[in-house]
Structure 1
Amino acid sequence: MEEKFAYVEGAEQPISMHPKKFALWLFIVSVVMIFASLTSAYIVRQAEGNWLEFELPSIFWYTSIIIVLSSVTLHVAYQAAKKDDFQKLKGGMFLTVLLGLVFLVCQWYSWVALVDRDVYFVGNPAGSFLYVFTGLHAIHLISGVIFLIIVLISSFRYKVHSKNMNAMEMCVTYWHFLGGLWLYLFMFLLLNH
């Protein structure tokens, strides 16, 4: 019995992704779900009443500018890595790490500003939500800064270049996500405060 085999030209290849990138995307989706549920809970709890009205710390405007600038410097570093421009890569990564650290310091001062306005973690839910939002974001940002430092060190060892972009691409994805998440949280608080 003769079997017939047909050769199919242009058969589609399955979509593949590096396992670490896939894990990063799963993590990002889980973080999105956490913050989506928290912002939903915020709206529901605010509607129940007994909600402390206070002005958001003005330092949030500065942190928003800082996070956008850090995304710009990281993009410059990413483009430099694609072109094997190691000096620009190192400089961009260094500036991004520095801006990430400045953002974290500013987050600390935003909590100081809240305490100065008698807004505490324990007490009214309005303050509690604000501390949870900024605290959770800061924890994720610390992990992002650690990732940035790892890529910075790798760039000084010439392990980040046009033929080895995996870690850089993951770092860029995660950092831009954290920046977008902060801007979302800030806009959400401005509109629902």
Structure 2
Amino acid sequence: MERELKYIDMVEQPISMHPKKFALWLFMVTVVMIFAGLTSAYIVRQSEGNWLDYDLPNIFWLTTAIAVASSLTLHWAYYSAKKDNFVNLRVGMILTVLLGVAFLVGQWYSWVAMVDRQVFFVGNPSGSFLYVFTGLHAAHLISGVIFLIIVLISTFRLKVHSRAMVTMEMATTYWHFLGGLWIYLFMFLLLNH
């Protein structure tokens, strides 16, 4: 009898994940694959020559700081939700949305700076890659800001709290992913432009 109980205790529990979280992770894997392909294409194309050298816009440093700050404010909101601190949760979400919009505005100004430097989307492929990287990231960031706004509205309707964290967890995961993706792209461009 003791031996049977021992075997029962050793049975592993299956790993389970909320279906929406699983879909989000699949989506993020596809985004990683897209950017991995693009950065690989960048390196291959750069090695072929006819590559325009230019300085990256200084505003990229600011947008990187904004991305880090927005991850911090969202993480503060996340922990506030786990503690049912609704005031801090809402303040953290509002700050994160504002920082997300500020990042997008910064990306726009980086394009303005590139045009001022005579680096265009058409023409030399080095400029084209920069616009594709930043534009594709901005498109995903817009979806992230929309997701954050949906979660923010849910916080005012008291649908986000310690016992209902799925959307908050998903928003936090996706936003941190986008911040990490930006840091990867920025470092890649710093090392390879």
Aligned equivalent of 1:89:
89
Inter-partner Cα distance in structure 2 for 1:121 and 1:189: 16
Number of aligned residues: 188
Map 1:17-36 onto structure 2 (within 5 A).
17-36=17-36
Aligned equivalent of 1:99:
99
Map 1:32-47 onto structure 2 (within 5 A).
32-47=32-47
Return the offset for 1:13: 1.4
Inter-partner Cα distance in structure 1 for 2:129 and 2:138: 14
Return the offset for 1:12: 1.2
Secondary structure of the residue aligned to 2:188 is helix
Aligned equivalent of 2:48:
48
Map 1:115-134 onto structure 2 (within 5 A).
115-134=115-134
Inter-partner Cα distance in structure 2 for 1:149 and 1:102: 14
Task: Specify every segment of 5 or more residues in structure 1 that has no aligned partner in the other structure, as ranges.
Answer: 1-5
Inter-partner Cα distance in structure 2 for 1:111 and 1:191: 19
Inter-partner Cα distance in structure 2 for 1:68 and 1:60: 12
Return the offset for 1:9: 1.4
Secondary structure of the residue aligned to 1:42 is helix
What TM-score do the two structures reach when normalised by structure 2?
0.96
Aligned equivalent of 1:192:
192
RMSD: 0.8
Return the offset for 1:33: 0.4
**Percentage identity across paired residues of the two chains:** 76
Q: Which has the higher helix share?
A: 2
Aligned equivalent of 1:114:
114
> 1:9 is matched by which residue type in structure 2?
I
> 2:134 is matched by which residue type in structure 1?
T
4+ residue stretches of structure 1 with deviation over 4 A? none
Inter-partner Cα distance in structure 2 for 1:14 and 1:131: 44
Aligned equivalent of 2:167:
167
Return the offset for 1:146: 0.3
Inter-partner Cα distance in structure 2 for 1:186 and 1:128: 15
Aligned equivalent of 1:57:
57
Task: Specify every segment of 5 or more residues in structure 2 that has no aligned partner in the other structure, as ranges.
Answer: none
What TM-score do the two structures reach when normalised by structure 1?
0.96
Return the offset for 1:108: 0.5
Inter-partner Cα distance in structure 2 for 1:72 and 1:85: 17
Inter-partner Cα distance in structure 2 for 1:96 and 1:146: 12
1:107-142 CA distance string (max 9 Å, x none) = 001000000011100000000000000000000000
Aligned equivalent of 1:13:
13
Return the offset for 1:152: 0.3
State whether structure 2 residue 76 is matched by structure 1 residue 76: yes
Inter-partner Cα distance in structure 2 for 1:123 and 1:100: 30
Inter-partner Cα distance in structure 2 for 1:20 and 1:89: 22
Inter-partner Cα distance in structure 2 for 1:70 and 1:15: 31
